[in-house]
Amino acid sequence: MKKFKFLLIPKSNNFREIININEISYQLKNLGHNCFTLKSQVSDDNLNFILEEEKFDFVFRVNKGKPKNINKKVRFISWVKQISDLNESLVNFNGNDLIYTLKKTHNNHKLKINQLLPAANYFNNIPKLEDYLLVTDRLESFQNIDISIISNYSRVDLFNGNKGLITNSSKINSDIHKKLHKLLYKIDEKYKILIFSLVNYSNLVINKNIHYQGEINNFNYFFEIFKKSRFNLLFEEEFLDFNSNFFNILLVQGILLANKKISKTFQNSINNNFNVSDLVFFFNTELEISNIIKKYYEDYSLRLKIGKEASKFVLKCHTYKNRVEQILKDIEE
């Protein structure tokens, strides 16, 4: 295959976004491609300047569209949440370009639009839940968090450059937390629920056993939380975010509770005969969550069995290696 020169542009300079875009860069480099990764988002003017000064075969830009007047030889790949995010910039794309969306898109455009999911941040020596069985045969004492939830929102999502709250995203964030609290209120208060989030919404709490813990600032520590929690509730409710924990929870054999709407994400995606519903506890209502927790809370061996299968599924279909293979295949077509 021809070796290409890529310019990768992250959504922001938040460490989760950067670690994720670096995963794509490292996979491309492992395949012999040349890659330059910017350290944060740039304006369209900046991007035009870069492309006037430097030659790239591909630009891969997260969460933003294609600027006007880009050299036609440069093929553009935009990865956005949903097609509507591209607004007016949609007219700048051509048949050589690619648009990836997180939300499944019904393609009624002449453009190439595919779904591209986030992926697991796999590395060779990542400790999984079963590894702790070698140290302790009592998973119940190791898993000392009953239920955990980790917010996807970072400072840059919630605050403007003048250190003030961004009204719109702040409202969305508080609504998500309200919904979460509503979902959790039927859970027996004997179960301890930890929410890791930059903004503390304790004032909205209905279930008194919900505790806000502040944000997690170390990437590896996410994996610790996923393993130490008997259940991990996904923050998203409709489709996976760029920095979703979905695959990382499963990667380390954690147990994942997710809104049923998320399961639509996996329709028609490559799942290699795995049935995602067997690996993730999808729920529709607060009662269903409560019942799942009651039913599986004490059943370590069943949870571990599900976790092991889920991890196999992620390693086979949902690593950044898989995603880069998909991107390279799509650009060849």
Partner 1 sequence: MSSLKKNLKILLIPNLISKYDLNQLNKIKQTFLKFEIDSHIFNIDYSEENLRNFLKINKFNIIFAVNKSRPNWLSKKIRFINWFQDFYYNSDDKLESFLESDIVYFYASPESFGVKKKPKCFNSMLYPGIDSNQINSIIDDFGNNYRNIDDYQILDFSICGYMPAALLVPFFELHFRNYNYDEKHFNDNLIKGWFTDLTNENEKKYPLETYKNFLVDLQTIVETNYIPLSGYLDVKKIASKVKKRILNMFNFIDTKIFDQIIPFFTTEYSRFLDRIELARLLSKHSTNFGLFGKDWTSYSEFESFSSDHISSEKELFSIYKKTKINLYNNTHGLGMHSKTFEIMINGGFFALPKSKKNYLRGGINEHFNENEHFVTFSPEKFDDLIENWMFNTEKRIKIGDNARKLVVSDHTWEKRIEKILRDLNK
For residue 69, state whether it binds partner 1 (rule: CB under 8 A). Answer: no
For residue 285, state whether it binds partner 1 (rule: CB under 8 A). Answer: no
Question: In the structure encoding, which two tokens stand for residue 44, read together?
Answer: 């369209």
Q: Which is nearer to partner 1, 39 or 264 (CB)?
A: 39
Q: Which of 160, 200, 267, 275 binds partner 1 (CB under 8 A)?
A: 160
For residue 50, state whether it binds partner 1 (rule: CB under 8 A). Answer: yes
On the CB side of 118, CA atoms within 13 Å amount to: 26
Q: Which is nearer to partner 1, 30 or 263 (CB)?
A: 30
Q: DSSP character for 30? A: H
Q: Which residues pair with 150 in a beta bridge?
A: 196
Task: Give Cβ neighbours of residue 319 (< 8 Å, ≥ 6 apart).
Answer: 119, 120, 122, 247
**Residue 47, burial from CB neighbour count under 10 angstroms (0-12, 13-18, 19+):** buried
Q: Which of 1, 45, 87, 167 binds partner 1 (CB under 8 A)?
A: 45
Q: 326: closest CA among 116, 118, 23?
A: 116
Q: Which of 69, 71, 217, 277 binds partner 1 (CB under 8 A)?
A: 217
Question: In the structure encoding, which two tokens stand for residue 158, read together?
Answer: 């919630």
Phi, psi of 173 (to 5 degrees): -60, -45
Shortest Cβ distance from residue 204 to partner 1 (Å)? 24
Q: Which is nearer to partner 1, 205 or 324 (CB)?
A: 324
Q: 311: closest CA among 143, 116, 126?
A: 126
| Contact letters for partner 1, residues 89-128 (x by CB under 8 A) | --------------------------------x-xxx---
For residue 159, state whether it binds partner 1 (rule: CB under 8 A). Answer: yes
For residue 155, state whether it binds partner 1 (rule: CB under 8 A). Answer: yes
**Site residues, partner 1 (CB under 8 A):** 7, 12-15, 18-19, 22, 26, 29-30, 35-43, 45-46, 49-50, 53-54, 121, 123-125, 154-156, 159-163, 215, 217-221, 224
